[in-house]
Amino acid sequence: MLPVATSCSVLPSFRRVVSSTRAWSISRTASHGRRTLATVAEDTFRIPLINFSKYLNASSLAEKEQTAQDIVRGFTDVGFIYLNNHGIPQETVEQAFQKSGEFFKLPIEKKLELAWRDPRANRGFVQVGRERVTQSADPEEIKRLREKAPDYKESMEIGRDWDKTYKNYWPQETDAPGFRRTMLDFFQTCHELHVQVMRSIALGLKLDEAFFDDKINEQYHNLRLLSYPPIKRQLLSGEGQARAGAHSDYGTLTLLFQDSVGGLEVQNPRTGQFQPATPIPGTIVINAGDLLARWSNDVLRSTLHRVVAPPLKAISDTEGVTPARQSIAFFCNPNQGAEIKCLPTCLVPGGKPKYPPVTTEDYIVGRLQATYM
């Protein structure tokens, strides 16, 4: 049974699911002779596919709770889900990808005019090699990792546009027509989906459906456009090299929109092995972040993941090159000053929270400062 099963009062139904999975695994092991439980655990590791229309269009609270339980179970067992029928039109996603692609094709001089400068702002263009995502919080260790194995990607970071303290960096309209309007609309669309998914999580954790509403309404989020340029095999062959190193995300949820190239891998919490999160057309990959894990006393998993190179295309007998890859990540966060402490339904009587309270800003800025500096 998963170790989190004893840490939250909402988990009796999860215990039954995990127990049935274990029984299925044992029977599979018996029927396959020498196959081990660890091997079968890998076979049964699946990111669940959730039909979110069953929640959005439910005619009763009981119907909503059924989908809510599936979502919470996915975050409990794996930390990731695929969401389909989520209400965001495909044309909206395609338009965001188109404008993102146009931005990254701008001359590097134009993009560097919008360079990322401050972890508290967390806005602007990040050139290839500037970021090195990792679980380490040691600035010196991260510096060594960046020098040895930088992340081969570039990104554009966009926050709430009405913030009076930190402003977004926008390209000139003549350089990137429609970029700003498209991204602001997409930011709002993603926030609205985030609210709905957090409502479903609240129900799944036996909280009031609106529990999180006033804790996420400031839209203290980050829209990250990502471009992974083509790269030769030899540049990815070094120790620890990846397009984006293994890491967890910082906030409540991440909504990830993938292209068809692939490369995202998720760590199996039971075996430690990384397994592909293969793109499924029309779906959004959603994972729980660190602050949601802290809020839930680790009932909901903030799972390690990374981006590796997809299959290479041969350009000679000895060399290959990866295809370009695009993705868009919407990092959902609680309000800037929200205090993140153990939820009442995620602590057994007499139990103690695993983590001390922390504010959203202090946690996220600390992680960003270590990652970029």
Residue 311 is predicted with a pLDDT of: 64
The pTM of the whole model exceeds 0.85: no
Kindly indicate the confidence band of residue 350, based on its pLDDT and cuts at 50, 70 and 90: confident
Q: Which of residues 21 and 252 earns the better pLDDT score?
A: 252
Residues 51-76 pLDDT 10s: 999 999 999 999 999 999 999 999 99
pLDDT band for 19, please (50, 70, 90 cuts).
very low
Name the residue with higher pLDDT: 42 or 45.
45
pLDDT band at 233 (very low <50, low <70, confident <90, very high): low
Considering the domain boundaries, does residue 273 fall inside one?
Answer: yes
| pLDDT for the residue numbered 263 | 85
Q: Determine the pLDDT at residue 333.
A: 97
Residue 21 within any structural domain of the chain: no
41-44: long-range contacts at Cβ-Cβ below 8 A with a sequence spacing of 24 or more?
41/268, 41/270, 41/271, 42/268, 42/271, 42/273, 42/275
> What tokens were used for 138?
């040691």
Q: Is the pLDDT of residue 312 over 90?
A: no
**pLDDT of 13 strictly over 50:** no
Average pLDDT over residues 118-134: 76
When divided into structural domains, the chain yields a total of: 1
Q: Can you give the pLDDT at residue 316?
A: 63
Query: Which of the two residues, 308 and 11, has the higher pLDDT score?
Result: 308
Across-strand partners of 284?
A: 83
Q: 286 CB contacts (<8 Å, ≥6 apart)?
A: 80, 81, 82, 83, 197, 253, 254, 255, 256
The answer to whether residue 18 sits within a structural domain is: no
User: Cβ contacts of residue 177 below 8 Å, gap of 6+?
Assistant: none
Q: Distance between CA 107 and CA 196 in Å, rounded? A: 38
Inside any domain, residue 225: yes
CATH number of the domain that residue 181 is part of: 2.60.120.330
**Is 32 a member of any domain?**
no
The model's pLDDT over 139-180, given as tens digits with 9 standing for 90+, comes to 554 445 444 445 678 999 999 999 989 999 999 999 999 999
Kindly state whether residue 51 falls inside one of the protein's structural domains.
Answer: yes
Confidence check: pLDDT of 313 > 50 = yes
Strands 325-332 and 305-307: unpaired
Segment 262-269 mean pLDDT: 90
Average pLDDT, the chain: 82
Q: Is residue 113 part of a domain?
A: yes
Beta bridge mates, 247: 305
For 179-216, how does the pLDDT look when each residue is reduced to its tens digit (9 = 90+)?
999 999 999 999 999 999 999 999 999 999 999 999 99
Residue 185 lies in a domain: yes
DSSP 123-164: -EEE-TTS----S---HHHHHHHHHHS----EEEEE--TT-S
Which DSSP letter does residue 4 get? G
CA distance linking residue 215 with residue 204, whole number of Å: 17
- The confidence score (pLDDT) of residue 118 equals 87
Q: What is the extent of the structural domain holding 247?
A: 47-372
pLDDT at 243: 58
